[in-house]
Structure 1
Amino acid sequence: MGSTPEFVTVLAEKTVTIGQDITLSCEANSSKVTAEWKKAGDTLKCVEGKRKVGNTDTKFYLEIKDAKPEDEGYYTLSLSNASGSCSCSAMVFVELKEWREVEKEQEPLISTLKSFKICSEEVRELRFLLHGPVGAGKSSTINTLKSIFEGHQFLNCLATNSDTVSGMSFTTKYQKFSTGTLPFAFYDVMGLEVGHKGVHTEDIINAFKGHIPDDYEFREDMPIIEEHRDYITSPTINNKIHCLVSVIPADRLSMMSEDVIKKMRNIRAEASKLGIPQIVFMTRVDKACKLTSEDLGKIYQSKKIRDKITMCSNKLGVTENCIFPVKNYHNEIGSNEQLNCLALQAFTQIVYSANDYINRWSSRQKQFE
């Protein structure tokens, strides 16, 4: 009886661009084995002109010609004989051609936003409401944007460690966070949860309609009602939300509860009736994609991130060009220009979307004058 198969060298992770050839290889302690290649659990077969598997003595290899997006994946080689078996695996990343442009320098983006003027003198500031499931990174998103504008790490907006989130919302109040002298304000709410826990969808709807005051304490047992002493009965345009921002964690998208997704779709439907623009910030991209984690500048060359955007679009019913993948500051203590540019590009979109909403409101007001 021969010896149990063992690897002398194992498969190595590969990153290739579209059109490149891929070669995965490793070496075993014997050639007298049965070799089986799999991708994501499915057995691979030789395909003439595309895929070839084989071995030269104890060296085993897989060759893939002309890499395509669908060639990205997790590859495994299993070796077996009468004495036993062993396996090793490696990830192959296929970098796409950049499918969305991103600014490489933050200063032009910051300058544009700092010189921004709201189209109506009646509106003091553009107001953005961030909502989404618990642990998605709503508070961290606000921290990140304020850090960029203030030039230092901003930590006053308390946020949970979303890697160890307990499933309970840390935010309990309707909190407003301004951006210094800039005419922008963020509003943070409790996270959405399954069933009757977390923020009520009615509270979010009342918030963007302008009925909920700053620092209102959310209650899980019931949403705010008109009879509540703090309920704003006749909200002005300055009480209302001008852009709804859905915050979704890229790495947990496939695991999101259908109940939470349904709540988000219902909230979007009500916002649409009022003409409120809606943008999605897809956070935690570094947790969802190793390629992006190692080089944030390749985020728009990542097949996994593109697939996540498509999945998000399908789940929420948002068009893909309204979904922006971002990374928030988490364990960094210094500034990261790539991270800042992604956040600023997404923020610029909600600023212009909110301003368009104000412009439409202003036009309607003039019709009745």
Structure 2
Amino acid sequence: MGGKSSSSLPPQLVDKPWLQMEWGGRGNDLQFIKDYTPKADGQQQFRILLHGPVGAGKSSFINSVISSLEGRISVRAGVCNSNQGTYTKQYKTYRIQIGNQGNMSPLVLNDMMGLENVPRRHRRVHVKDVEKAMKGHIKDGYIFNPENSLSETDNFYNKTPKVNDKVHVLVSVIDASKVHLLPDKVVEKIQDIRDDATDLGIPHMVILTKIDEACPEIKKDLKNVCRSSLLQKRVLCFSKLVGIPENCIFPVKNYHSERNVDNDIDALVLNTLRRIIEIGDEHLKNQERI
């Protein structure tokens, strides 16, 4: 790849790509996403729930998806410096416009408060709220309470969720540069949430963000993501930590400082979004057969 021998490669890169990526497939992925229609009975929306540690890039990924699909940089989801703590306080749904006719995509993305590294006695608080969100019990606009999970008597509790209210794919968003530094309590929370998703029959996927911060060679050229030994180690590390297959972990570079859309960033974002749709749609079809 690139005509270089393994001896001339930087030590952070391997000669044979460990990640298969069609950089020229951006147009096909974009068309697939634009053409996608949920096929399950009564379903008009395909809901993707994002969760993960504070500052991992959940809101930035939402902005990146919107930017890649709408063809212009979006900052619709508010973000802040990760050193300032969590910016997202409420459960919020983001919908995406397709084309110039005002048509809305069936894809909806839900953002929620980050998983804090709180004392063990509070460990289940966010896990309970994530479970309720997956079941479709949390209404848009609910402000998360660090001390208590959403009560069934709260006005933001949806007592009778329909298929469009429920989550169809759970996505953990993790900072690739900090995978090996995740506190045990945060790992336990992610494992608990993964267990809940499995019990509910919801597929679980992982997005590794900030890959350019994890590997200097990726920062030089985003296409080096396919051969970065450092990133491969982070994928293996998280796979072992949580018990999720490597082929369900996707590296992504979010839009952050860019002022215009970039084909390579779009390619990674759109390919990941396509795989999320394909895995979730396959699961929905299997459920209908049961």
TM norm structure 1: 0.72
Secondary structure at the counterpart of residue 148 of structure 1: helix
- Aligned pairs (5 A) from 1:133-152: 133-152=53-72
Identify the match of residue 203 of structure 2 among 277, 286, 296: 277
The Cα shift of 1:361 comes to: 3.3
Identify the match of residue 244 of structure 1 among 154, 163, 170: 170
User: Per the alignment, do residues 93 and 239 of structure 1 end up closer, same or farther by CA in structure 2, a change over 3 Å counting?
Assistant: closer
Cross-structure match for 2:17: 98
CA distance in 1, matches of 2:162, 2:94: 19
Cross-structure match for 1:156: 76
Cross-structure match for 1:185: 108
Cross-structure match for 1:297: 223
Cross-structure match for 2:7: 20
Cross-structure match for 1:331: 257
Identify the match of residue 143 of structure 2 among 214, 217, 227: 217
CA distance in 2, matches of 1:17, 1:219: 54
Deviations 1:323-366 (A, max 9, x none): 001100010111111111111111111111221232233334xx
Identify the match of residue 92 of structure 2 among 169, 175, 179: 175
- AA aligned to 1:142 is I
Query: How many residue pairs were aligned?
Result: 278
Deviations 1:135-177 (A, max 9, x none): 0000000000000111111112101123xx23x2110110000
- Aligned pairs (5 A) from 1:35-114: 92-105=11-24, 106-114=26-34
Task: Name the structure where helix makes up a greater proportion of residues.
Answer: 2
The Cα shift of 1:230 comes to: 2.6
Does the 8 A contact of 2:13 with 2:224 survive in 1?
no
The Cα shift of 1:18 comes to: 5.7
- AA aligned to 1:155 is V
Larger radius of gyration: 1
CA distance in 2, matches of 1:262, 1:145: 28
1:268 and 2:194 are equivalent in the alignment: yes
Where do 5+ consecutive residues of structure 2 fail to align?
98-103
CA distance in 1, matches of 2:12, 2:237: 19
Q: Percent identity?
A: 32
Identify the match of residue 131 of structure 1 among 31, 37, 51: 51
Does the 8 A contact of 2:125 with 2:148 survive in 1?
no
The Cα shift of 1:17 comes to: 5.5
Question: Larger relative CO (CA 8 A, sep 6+): 1 or 2?
Answer: 2
Does the 8 A contact of 2:190 with 2:242 survive in 1?
yes
Secondary structure at the counterpart of residue 7 of structure 2: coil
Where do 5+ consecutive residues of structure 1 fail to align?
1-15, 22-66, 73-91, 365-369
Cross-structure match for 1:10: none
